[in-house]
Structures are given as structure tokens and as C-alpha cells.
């Protein structure tokens, strides 16, 4: 399930890079986020292809399922690739993939919603070990994805051949996000926001920390919460309209409360990244005129949790991609009684069900994953007509409805709860005599 977040176009505009029309030729450069060991540092335009050493011929590699939790059309598929790992180093590659996935899976909301992900490892074999310009500038390695340090003259920026990487990722059953592990102990990486692709040095203990931040962009449509890296504390003022992103705003706390906008309903709450939710000035590449929800979250620095606002938005976006229902009795045609109606929700502990008949909730059915249409009337007898049952002989049709919902405390926004966090299925029931 490939998707392209609103973050892409908006951040291009915010930082002054042009957006290529959909009907234009594939651009030779792409917008890439740069990192040091402590946090993101801004963006540069970097090549999408590293040169002439690689062709677009269909690659060959085996695929190892790391964690499979459901069909790809109902899950988020994360695909790992490796570059600079020879045949003899595939065990090392697998170890570094496991390390990265463990870091991600222990961070909320990935920890709670782990079952919404499939994780695949494409075992890419390179002729030589390492990466270009590593450990020093001028060193060349013959690797499958042609990765290189010193991309665009920045020592820690690791670029590679995007089309070749995507062709390897396509060997997995599906991919929504590509994480490329570079065989090097030297810290480095890059976030290709347009391609939903991340590179990071697998041999450095902090390299894998780049991935959670980038997923905040590609999966959560979250904005960066830092000022522009090249000119820290430069007094830059944001003067544009209110951004679309949930985690940045031109409105301070008082204005948000008065307008009931952005994160006003989280104000004053303790947040996982430390402190409380408020409005902290300085975000979205500007020092002044725009606010972030917390002092120092993952969208501002690495090695941090998401704040409450980011965690809520990520949770909503997860469900927008996967839905809450893995399978259910078909509802596109009338169901003749007697029958059993069933639903299989996604396997998240806070997901439950409520059942309704003709719009009236049957409270004793709460939490069930199946109900029988033909059966005894429950006690006490409901005041409303009990349609589609043997003991009532109601003529014609009626409706049975199940609502699958997530009651998680990660989400407070009522619109989110009624929208992405609730799924409704309605069946029309037909009396067996009609």
C-alpha cells in the first residue's frame, strides 16, 4: 500500500524547493532530510540515482519475513534493505535489521500498534563491503544500491540509487516504507520524504534512531518541530497561513483554547517527551511566529518519544491505512435468517465492538465478534421490535449493525474517535419466509 503524505508538498513550499508536476519527467534530485547524532538538521536536494553503475534490471534476492500480522492490504508494510553487505555478511545484516525493528517496536505508538505492521527483510547481496566515501572520502565500493557518504558534500548524508532500491523493495509482498541499512559503523543517514525511504548506518548504535523520526513524516504527516538548521536562533519569523499539520500552529495556547483548534484539548497534560503540552515558540524551520506542542519531542530531536499530539496523530494515521476490521460476514446483500454475523477486528487490546438492531444498542452483546440472528429473545425483553427472529415473526427486513472501535487513551479528538477509530458494518436481515 504506497501512500504519499500531505507533508511532502507542504514542506517543499516551506523550505523554498519547487514541486515537480505529476506529468513531468522524474526529477534528478529529491528532497532529503539531513541528520547528526542528536537530531534532524534540515534538508538538501540530493540525487535520486547515484550514477551509471546500476541498471534497472529486475534484481534477485531472497525475502525473509520478520513479522507478519495480516494481509498487506490491511497492514502497514515496512521493508528493510541492506547495502554493502556481502554474502558472508548477511548474518550481520539480519542482526542490524532486528536491532532497528526492536528500537521502533518499543517506541509508542508502534509498541501498542505493532500488530498493524508487517516487516520484511530483503536480503540484498553486494559485491563489496561498506559504502562509498567510507571511512574516508574517495573510497569506492561496489555495492548493490550504490550508497555513498559525503552526498552533496555533507559527510554524514548517505544517498543511494532510489530506483534500484525500490526495485529490490518490490520483491517483498508490499511496501509502504523502505528502511535501508548501510554496512558501516560511521554515523550517517538520510530521509527521502518523497520516496518514503530512509537510510541509516547499521553499525552505529544511534543510526537506527533516524527511522522513527522519518516515519513521523511518512506515516503520520507530522511537521518538523525544529527551526532551520543552517541559521539557528536567526530570528526568522513565520508569516504564512496556519499549516495543515497537527503538531505546529500559528496560534498560542490562549488562542487555541478560544478557537478550540489544534491541540487545545491536550493543554496542561504531561507528555511522554517531558514537561507538559503547551505552545512552545519555534518550529517548522522558523524561530518565531509558529508553535510546537512540547519542548523537545521526536519531531525536534532524535532519541525522544513522540509528544501526545504526535502520538495521537500517528495512531489516527495508522488506522486510516489499515482500518479496524480484518474480515466480516458479507454485507453487500440481504442476509436470510437464521444466520450468524461475524466480524474479526484488528488484534489491538483496546479494540472492541458494540452491536445494534434497527439502531438500538444491544448492550449484552458488547465485545462479541459474532451474533446469531435467529435465537431466543434476551431477558428482559427489549421494548423495541426484535426483528429477524424466530420468536417474533416480523415480516420484511431489518438491520443489524456492528461498530468496531478503539477506546485508546492515545486519542482524545472526538472527530478522530468517530472517524478513523470507528468502523461500522450494517447487514440487512430478511425473514426466511420472504
174, part of any domain: yes
Same domain, 96 and 212: yes
Domain membership flag for residue 405:
yes
Q: What is the pTM of this model?
A: 0.88
What per-residue confidence (pLDDT) applies to 257? 98
- CB of 122 closer than 8 Å to CB of 168: yes
User: What is the residue-averaged pLDDT of the chain?
Assistant: 88
- Answer yes or no: do 27 and 167 share one domain: yes
| pLDDT at residue 19 is higher than 60 | no
Helix, coil or strand: residue 223 = coil
Q: Answer yes or no: is 317 within a domain.
A: no
Instruction: Kindly state whether residue 329 falls inside one of the protein's structural domains.
Output: yes
Domain assignment of residue 354, yes or no: yes
Q: What is the pLDDT of residues 91-133, one digit of tens each?
A: 999 999 999 999 999 999 999 999 999 999 999 999 999 999 9
Helices marked H in 114-241: 162-169, 210-218
Phi, psi of 369 (to 5 degrees): -105, 0
Look at residue 18 and tell me if it is in a domain. yes
Based on the fold, state whether residues 211 and 355 are members of the same structural domain: no
- Quick one: 204 and 340 in the same domain? no
Q: Which of 196, 218, 240 is a domain's end point?
A: 218
Question: Per-residue pLDDT averaged across 74-103, rounded?
Answer: 98
CATH number of the domain to which 334 belongs: 2.60.40
Give the mean model confidence (pLDDT) for residues 290-305. Answer: 96
Is residue 299 domain-resident?
Answer: no
346 shares its domain with 214? no
Q: Is the pLDDT of residue 13 over 50?
A: no
Let me know if residue 20 belongs to a domain: yes
Q: Which domain holds residue 86?
A: 7-218
Among 186, 203, 218, the domain-final residue is 218
Query: In the chain, how many domains are there?
Result: 2
CB 72 within 8 A of CB 328: no
Distances (CA, A) of 205 to 37, 99, 271: 10, 9, 26
The percentage of the chain sitting over the pLDDT mark of 70, rounded to a whole number, equals 84
End residue of a domain, out of 199, 218, 237: 218
Amino acid at each position: 500500500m504506497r501512500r504519499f503524505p500531505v507533508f511532502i508538498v507542504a514542506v517543499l513550499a516551506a523550505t523554498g524547493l519547487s514541486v515537480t508536476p505529476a506529468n513531468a519527467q522524474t526529477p534528478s534530485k529529491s528532497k532529503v532530510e539531513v541528520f547528526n547524532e542528536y537530531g534532524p538538521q534540515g534538508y538538501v536536494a540530493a540525487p535520486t540515482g547515484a550514477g551509471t553503475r546500476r541498471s534497472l534490471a529486475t534484481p534477485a534476492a531472497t525475502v525473509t519475513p520478520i513479522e507478519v500480522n495480516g494481509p498487506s492490504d490491511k497492514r502497514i508494510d515496512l521493508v528493510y534493505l541492506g547495502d554493502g553487505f556481502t554474502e558472508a555478511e548477511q548474518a550481520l545484516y539480519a542482526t542490524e535489521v532486528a536491532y532497528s525493528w526492536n528500537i521502533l517496536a518499543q517506541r509508542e505508538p508502534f509498541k501498542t500498534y505493532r500488530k498493524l505492521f508487517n516487516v520484511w527483510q530483503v536480503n540484498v547481496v553486494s559485491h563489496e563491503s561498506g559504502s562509498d566515501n567510507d571511512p574516508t572520502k574517495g573510497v569506492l565500493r561496489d555495492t548493490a544500491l550504490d550508497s555513498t557518504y559525503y552526498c552533496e558534500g555533507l559527510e554524514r548524508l548517505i544517498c543511494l540509487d532510489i530506483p534500484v532500491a525500490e526495485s529490490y523493495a518490490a520483491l517483498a509482498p508490499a511496501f509502504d516504507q523502505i528502511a535501508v541499512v548501510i554496512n558501516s559503523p560511521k554515523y550517517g543517514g538520510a530521509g527521502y520524504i518523497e520516496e518514503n525511504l530512509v537510510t541509516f548506518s547499521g553499525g552505529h548504535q544511534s543510526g537506527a534512531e533516524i527511522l522513527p523520526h522519518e516515519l513521523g513524516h511518512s506515516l503520520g504527516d507530522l511537521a518538523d518541530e525544529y527551526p532551520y538548521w543552517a541559521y539557528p536562533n536567526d530570528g526568522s519569523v513565520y508569516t504564512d497561513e496556519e499549516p495543515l499539520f497537527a503538531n505546529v500552529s500559528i496560534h498560542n495556547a490562549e488562542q487555541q483554547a478560544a478557537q478550540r483548534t489544534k491541540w487545545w484539548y491536550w493543554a496542561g497534560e504531561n507528555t511522554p517527551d517531558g514537561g507538559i503540552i503547551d505552545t512552545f515558540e519555534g518550529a517548522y524551520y522558523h524561530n518565531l511566529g509558529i508553535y510546537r506542542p512540547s519542548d523537545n519531542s521526536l519531531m525536534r530531536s532524535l532519541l525522544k518519544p513522540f509528544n501526545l499530539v504526535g502520538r495521537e496523530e500517528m495512531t489516527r494515521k495508522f488506522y486510516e491505512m489499515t482500518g479496524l476490521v480484518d474480515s466480516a460476514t458479507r454485507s453487500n446483500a440481504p442476509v436470510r435468517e437464521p444466520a450468524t454475523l461475524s466480524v474479526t477486528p484488528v488484534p489491538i487490546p483496546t479494540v472492541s465492538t458494540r452491536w445494534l438492531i434497527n439502531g438500538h444498542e444491544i448492550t449484552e452483546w458488547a465485545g462479541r465478534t459474532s451474533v446469531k440472528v435467529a435465537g431466543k429473545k434476551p431477558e428482559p425483553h427489549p421494548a423495541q421490535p426484535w426483528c429477524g427472529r424466530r420468536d417474533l415473526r416480523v415480516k420484511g427486513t431489518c438491520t443489524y449493525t456492528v461498530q468496531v472501535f478503539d477506546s485508546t487513551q492515545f486519542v482524545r479528538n472526538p472527530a478522530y474517535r468517530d472517524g478513523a477509530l470507528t468502523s461500522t458494518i450494517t447487514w440487512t436481515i430478511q425473514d426466511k419466509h420472504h
